[in-house]
Amino acid sequence: MHTIDWNRTPLIPAIAQDESGAVLMLAYMNEEALKRTLATKEVHYFSRSKNRIWKKGETSGNTQRLLRLWVDCDSDCLLLCVQQKGDACHTLHHSCFFREIGLDGAAQSEGAEGEDVGKQIATYGVIETLYHTLCERKSADKTQSYTAQLFAKGENTIGKKIVEESAELAFAIKDKDKNDIVYEAADVLYHLLVGLAFVDVAPEHVLSELARRMGTSGIAEKASRKA
C-alpha cells in the first residue's frame, strides 16, 4: 500500500475477479477504502456517484471476500481476487461485463430485457433500480427509448417535463382523485429521476438530505439556508 501515491491519484481503478479468473467488475478505491478492505477482508470501494465509501453488498448482500491483491507496475490500479457471494452486478448478472460488442462495433444480444427487474427491485428497491436503468438509457437508441430522447434534448426539456408533470399532480391533488394522484406522482418521480441521472446525482444524496432535515422544523431549516 505504501507504493501508491494517493496525492497523485486519490482514486484508482480496482478490478475484481473471482477465483476462476473471470472479471466481475471495475470500481474505484481511495486510500480509506483500501485500508478498510485490508483490515476487514471485506471489499470496500469509493462510489463516485454517492461520494462515499461503500461496502460491496451493503444493500444486496452480495459481498466480496478479499483473497488476493495486486497493484500494477505504475501503482495506480488494483487487481483483486475475491470470493463473490451472489452476483457482482447490480443487474443481477454474475459479472458486470455481460454485454458484448462485436468487432464490427454492433451490439450483441444481452438476453431478455427486464427479465430480472423484479429481483432487482426486491434487492435494491424501486428508486435505486429505476435510477440505474435510466443511467443505462443514456447510450440507448433514441428511436427506441423515450428516456434516451429526453437525455438527448437536454436539461431544458427535462426541466420542462418536471414542471409539467408537477402541475398535473397538483391538479390531481386538487381534484382529490386518488387514482390520478398515484399516476401523476409516478410521472413526477420518473422525470425527477431522469433529471438526477442527467446530472449524475444519485437518489441517495437526496435521501440523505431528507434524513438530515428529520427532526428539524421546516421554518428553522429554511431560516438556516438564508443564514
pLDDT tens per residue across span 138-170:
988 899 899 999 999 999 999 999 999 999 999
pLDDT of residue 197: 94
Residue 24: partners with Cβ closer than 8 Å, 6 or more residues away: 16, 17, 18, 82, 84, 88, 89, 94, 95, 96
pLDDT of residue 76: 94
Q: What whole-number distance in Å separates Cα of residue 192 and Cα of residue 185?
A: 10
pLDDT tens, residue by residue, 116-132? 677 667 666 888 889 88
C-alpha of 25 from chain center: 14
pLDDT of residue 147: 96
Say if residue 208's pLDDT is above 70.
yes
Contact at 8 Å (CB) between 17 and 81?
yes
Average pLDDT over residues 51-62: 91
Integer-rounded Cα radius of gyration of the chain: 21
Q: What whole-number distance in Å separates Cα of residue 148 and Cα of residue 202?
A: 18
pLDDT of residue 99: 79
Comparison of pLDDT for 109 and 18, the residue scoring more: 18
Q: What whole-number distance in Å separates Cα of residue 34 and Cα of residue 118?
A: 33
User: Long-range contacts made by residues 183-190, C-beta under 8 angstroms, separation at least 24?
Assistant: 188/162, 189/127, 190/130
Indicate the burial class of 23 (C-beta count within 10 angstroms; 0-12, 13-18, 19 or more).
middle
Local confidence band at 107 (pLDDT 50, 70, 90 cut-offs): low
Domain range summary for the chain, segments of one domain joined by +? 1-98+110-116, 125-212
Instruction: Dig out the grid coordinates for 84 from the structure.
Output: 463473490
pLDDT of residue 125: 82
Q: Provide CATH code, domain 1-98+110-116.
A: 3.10.20.810
Q: What is the mean pLDDT of the chain?
A: 88
Q: What whole-number distance in Å separates Cα of residue 205 and Cα of residue 221?
A: 17
Q: Give CA torsion, residues 28, 29, 30, 33, to 10 deg.
A: 140
Local confidence band at 1 (pLDDT 50, 70, 90 cut-offs): low
Q: Do 1-98+110-116 and 125-212 have matching folds?
A: no
CATH topology of domain 125-212: Helix Hairpins (1.10.287)
Q: What whole-number distance in Å separates Cα of residue 66 and Cα of residue 43?
A: 6
Phi, psi of 109 (to 5 degrees): -60, 140
CA angle 54, 57, 58 (to 5 degrees): 55
Say if residue 100's pLDDT is above 50.
yes
Comparison of pLDDT for 104 and 89, the residue scoring more: 89
